[in-house]
A = this chain, B = another copy of it.
């Protein structure tokens, strides 16, 4: 079974999630510029979630690039990831509508945490299917980024009830760490090609 349909289904779901989020930006009643002011927190939470979903799409793209076959457990690990990503519009909307209040900020962290755990599970399924010489395993190494992100969310969730801005800062920080280009998989692919040719 090829991976094309898995990729295109995942792309479809992520594309829809990303676009459905914008429906939380409800058309305001007024016709003056002031009518947009109450929407600023909704907009900012949309920007943050858009970046997170962009990162997931990007990394998903790279990760599947290292694999050729698709097993049943990968299909379900992938659906599990898509499930938590599908809760982004809800978590984003609740957080934006309540101006980053404590509980919605913590809940947003829970969704981020569950998505990151689901991503690690999918990654683990891919590594297991690739055997001892797994290209993906070499590429991610000890995977401090993936695991560190999950730890950051774990810290941010209870912290939100003390100061939601510290939590938001952590969410933004993790996003920035991922936005910096990550060449691990690309390098692993390049060095593999060099070896194959050498």
Contact = CB atoms under 8 A, between A and B. Distances in A.
Nearest to A73: B181
Nearest to A19: B16
Size category of the A interface is 35 or more
Interface in A19-68: 19-20, 22-25, 27-28, 31-33, 35-36, 47, 50, 54, 57-58, 61-62, 65
A79 interface: yes
Contact of A5 (B19, B24, B61, B106): B61
| Identical copies in the complex | 4
Contact of A13 (B8, B18, B101, B179): B18
A104 B33 CA distance: 8
A89 B22 CA distance: 8
A106 B31 CA distance: 11
Interface of A: 1, 5, 7-9, 11-20, 22-25, 27-28, 31-33, 35-36, 47, 50, 54, 57-58, 61-62, 65, 72-73, 75-76, 79, 82-83, 86-87, 89-90, 93-94, 97-98, 101-104, 106-107, 179, 181, 186
Tell me whether chain A's interface is mostly helix, strand or loop, or mixed. Answer: helix
